[in-house]
Chains A and B, each alone.
Chain A
Amino acid sequence: MTQAGLYTLAASALAGIGVYGLLARRHLLRRILAVNLLGNAVFLLLVAFARRQPGYVDPVPHAMVLTGIVVAVSATAFALALARRYYAETGLDHLPEDEG
């Protein structure tokens, strides 16, 4: 199997775990983690695209992944802060519509 193929397969597996976490888990921390897994799946797919032609690495997807990581870190930091504040205010670790 080529390197790009391996990366694509790993990206699909990560995306699957992420989607499962989003659908099956209600805890906010797990959902934030699931979003992160999904994001990393997309990044890995982009890295795979950069490697498709043998002997040449396309720099544009790498630049996109670097920018994407910066965005993902800020979004995760904010999501964690918001989840903490939500827990402090309500004592809940999940959203009210996910009750029961």
Chain B
Amino acid sequence: MAELGALSLPLAFFLPLLTALAAFLLGARQAPWLAGIGALATVAAVADAVRRVAAHGPQAYHLGGWAPPLGVELYADGLAALMLAMTAAVALAVTAYAGAYLHGQGQAAERFWPLWLVQWAALNGTFLSADLFNLYVMLELVTLTAVPLVAMAGDRASLGAAMRYLLLALIASLAYLLGVALLYGGTGTLHLREVGELAGAGGPTAVAAALVTAGLLLKAAIFPLHAWLAPAHSSAPAPASAALSALVAQAGVYLVLRLWLWAFPALLSPVVGWGLGGLGAASVLYGSLQALRQSRLKPVIAYSTVAQLGYPLLLLPLAAVPAAASQAWQGAAYFIVAHGLAKAGAFLAAGNVYYSLGHDRLAGLRGLAPELSASVLALGLAWVSLMGLPPTAGFLAKWQLLSGALAGGQWPWAVVVVLGGLLAAGYGFRVLATAHAAAPPGGPVGRPARRLPWRMAATPLLLALAVYLLGVSAVPALRLLGQGAPEALG
């Protein structure tokens, strides 16, 4: 298994990590090209890994030639490859955008680079880990890079949001680790698939699964464990907000699906499935209603993240229904990809508004300066996918979830999908209508708009375009997803 061929798996983890080290030692001032080169190399490694998975099925790599349980195994199946690819696309956009956004903001802003690159490495590590303890280490690495990004502004609001996020995330990690300890005590293994084969559906496994799931639901900000997300994600600088919402929070949702479908399928009874699906549905409705009530742009987008993170959980009640499983599985996985790209685009576009106007109050967005037309367009295009309208990836994902729910005879989930889309249209049009309204008499209030560098104007548009590309051509991504999928879902 550990042939040289799958070397792109460790490279996808180590390249951003080494770039982060170099960026920390050299400082971004000496080497502004460093992050770009590291990002391009990482994208190349990810592309090779994805190509291999698509052509030859799941890939594994044993670090240092040591087989588990002593060694660390990296493992990529179709789902992991899809997540790596989505992360690479968002990460490339964030890297390109941040170079321009942070330019001229002083030395403190340069700390963004090592943090962000370690975060990328840890995210790739999360998707590539095949063992529960490595996942714990990766989750902690993601947390310990996400919290300083939230705190970067250094003011009262962002420090408070970061402190709250850190305490909750540490408790969540410990709940996860306690669950993993119990699973190891019960089965004597940490490997994801072996746990699935050995754990069974007994009481101790149920307790362990509950602890692990509670920890991950907190990291994924699923209702009622969502309260930390909106202040944290809206305090961070725009490129970090995009990474946190599109990647970090979604990694939590990804792990909930990964663990329930691979490690605890025996426990996934209709009651448990409906319980988890119900939490997802509550997130969709609660997050959307909160998004409607916000008076600033970034909190609107942050609450929409709470809402959108709920949809993938709707797969869990449908996964055990043979008529629904396959479509719901494709829908949930595609949803994570669509939401990642669209949400990163939306947050970067909001960052342009903030950069240009110096604020993001909805009331002050009337008659936006012409320099911002590209950003408003990107925001609108991304929102079409968040609402789930064709021809976007968001539409295909919701369509598959909807068809799965109806084919499985579980219409309540279909109602949630439709209602969530309508609410997203509500909070989306509230923003877009204000942005397109005529300027108030006497011209726009506040300081004159600051000119946007072209890189910052272009990146959100490119992300939005990617969502349409995936909406028009879904076959390669869905075929990739089929590699190594559990039999019930293939």
Contact = CB atoms under 8 A, between A and B. Distances in A.
B367 to A, nearest CB: 35
Contacts of A61: 181, 184
A42 B174 contact: yes
Interface in A49-100: 49, 52, 60-61, 64, 67-68, 71, 74-75, 78-79, 82-83, 85-86, 89-90, 95-97
A60 B164 contact: no
B20 to A, nearest CB: 15
Given A71-B140, A75-B140, A79-B166, A60 B174 contact: no
- Interface residues of A: mostly helix, strand, loop or mixed? helix
A82 B162 CA distance: 8
B26 interface: no
A36 to B, nearest CB: 9
Nearest to A97: B164
Interface residues of B, number: 29
A49 B184 contact: yes
Interface stretch (B143-151, B319-327, B455-463): B143-151
A45 B181 contact: yes
Nearest to B156: A90
B44 interface: no
Contact of B159 (A45, A79, A82): A82
Given A46-B181, A74-B144, A75-B140, A90 B159 contact: yes
Contacts of B381: none
18 contacts: A35-B170, A42-B181, A45-B185, A61-B184, A67-B133, A67-B137, A71-B140, A75-B140, A75-B170, A78-B144, A78-B147, A78-B166, A79-B170, A82-B166, A86-B159, A86-B160, A90-B159, A90-B160
Interface of B: 69, 133, 136-137, 140, 143-144, 147-148, 151, 154-156, 159-160, 162-164, 166-167, 170-171, 174, 177-178, 181, 184-185, 190
